[in-house]
Chain A
Amino acid sequence: MSTLARHWHPRDARFLGLIALTALLVALYLGEELRLAAREGSGHRVIDLKALERRIDSGDLSNREADWYHLATPQESGGGTP
């Protein structure tokens, strides 16, 4: 420890700061990916909703109601649906 203290230099602190910042960015990125993966885990996909709505408004895509679906019960939606 005393050897480390003897050889400590301000540039080492900058280097450690850079390492810490990189680790923080990696952690944030992984956290976001995990959050999205968890949202998609129940058989649905997160989409670019604004782009979809734009394409529907312009007539490029359809707003036709689908057949073969029902509103999710609280059990089906994991207790999250009122």
Chain B
Amino acid sequence: MSAVVCELCPRTCVIPEGAAGDCRVRVNLGGKLRATTYGRPSAIHIDPMEKKPLYHFHPGAQIFSLATAGCNLHCLNCQNWQLSQRGGEEMEETYRAEPAEIVAAAKEEGCKAIAYTYSDPIVFYEYVYDTSVLAREQGLTNVFVTAAYVNREPLRRLCRVLDATNADLKAFDDGFYRRVSGATLKPVLDALVTFREEGVWVEVTNLVIPTLNDDLALIRRMSRWIAAELGVDTPLHFSRFQPQYRMRNLPPTPTDTLRRVRTEALEAGLRYVYIGNVLGDAGSSTYCPRDGTLLIGRSGFTITDYKLTADGRCPTCNDKISGVWL
């Protein structure tokens, strides 16, 4: 009986024959580790870029989005748990879509980008990598939406074919990671720094959960860390929590809380801080950090106003706005 050790994420699961890693989809069959969901997504959609959320990367573009079953985190508040907390053999439906077919379908639908998203794409790493290589060859960009619980070397290799990421920073608190997500904080911070070092465009999302991670001192520490390690131009999205899955005992995040944490992050030095999952809030639009000019107005996932110049500058003060623009 040959056990194998998976080196992909910090869990480094020791997997005996016939068992799966903690992610449920990387399985030891006959002493070899198998990526059982390679080319077998269970979710395929076309989304607006703003849904990832990416606000400084090709705003308004449509993005071909896919996911397979499985995840290496087990968040009590997971919004995609029907997908993420199941193995491939537990899914009612999987599609057969090899990397070349995904790229062809994205082009046919008029999408210029592909997102690996919904569950954590780390667990279908090989599928992401092969698809990204082909996508890049054909002029498409690759977006990785992740909780960033991944080892450094696999991530470095993947970064060569990625263009942008929205990475969850669930809380600047190791205890929160252990209690709520079954993970740890440090590997996530390391991964965020790796994305930046490798030249991938990074935006960060923090889901604000009442009483668990909405303490202003925690928000301040997280914002200062982002400013110091990733840069003050890194967009930070504060997202509204909705009770679901195994965390139905807490209320949705009050809008006032989201506005307070946004103010705190701006005061900590970050220049682009957003409120998400609150329809029509002014905090979901982009403003010039120098003179306050409204640059990109948003309502939900819709762009209501676009005033950036063609080369990504503020039309009032001509300041360069960080991002990958159209």
Contact = CB atoms under 8 A, between A and B. Distances in A.
A68 B6 contact: yes
A45 interface: yes
B35 A62 contact: yes
Interface in A7-43: 39, 42-43
A68 B125 contact: yes
B19 A47 contact: yes
Size category of the binding interface on chain A: 35 or more
B20 A65 contact: no
B7 A69 contact: yes
Nearest to B28: A44
A44 B38 contact: no
Contacts of A43: 11-15, 21-22
Given A52-B87, A76-B5, A77-B3, A44 B36 contact: no
Given A52-B89, A82-B1, 12 more contacts: A43-B22, A44-B16, A44-B20, A45-B87, A52-B36, A55-B94, A60-B96, A62-B37, A68-B154, A72-B14, A76-B5, A80-B16
A45 B5 contact: no
Interface of B: 1-8, 11-16, 18-22, 24, 26-29, 31-40, 87-90, 94, 96, 125-126, 129, 151, 153-154
With most chain B CB atoms within 10 A of its CB, the pick from A39, A49, A68 is A68
A6 interface: no
A50 to B, nearest CB: 9
B34 A63 contact: yes
With most chain B CB atoms within 10 A of its CB, the pick from A53, A56, A82 is A56
A78 B3 CA distance: 10
Contact of A52 (B8, B27, B94, B154): B27
Contacts of A68: 6-8, 125, 151, 153-154
Contacts of B38: 62, 64
Nearest to B25: A61
Contact of A44 (B21, B29, B87, B126): B21
27 contacts: A43-B13, A43-B15, A44-B13, A44-B14, A44-B21, A44-B28, A47-B27, A49-B18, A51-B89, A52-B36, A60-B96, A61-B89, A62-B36, A64-B34, A64-B35, A65-B33, A66-B6, A66-B126, A67-B129, A68-B6, A69-B33, A71-B2, A71-B3, A71-B4, A77-B14, A81-B1, A81-B3
With most chain B CB atoms within 10 A of its CB, the pick from A46, A48, A65 is A65
B154 to A, nearest CB: 5
A49 B17 CA distance: 10
Contacts of B5: 69-72, 76
A62 B31 CA distance: 16
With most chain B CB atoms within 10 A of its CB, the pick from A46, A69, A76 is A69
A67 B125 contact: yes
B2 A61 contact: no
Closest 5 CB pairs of A and B: A43-B13, A72-B3, A64-B38, A62-B38, A77-B3
Contact of B24 (A45, A54, A55, A72): A45
A57 B213 CA distance: 45
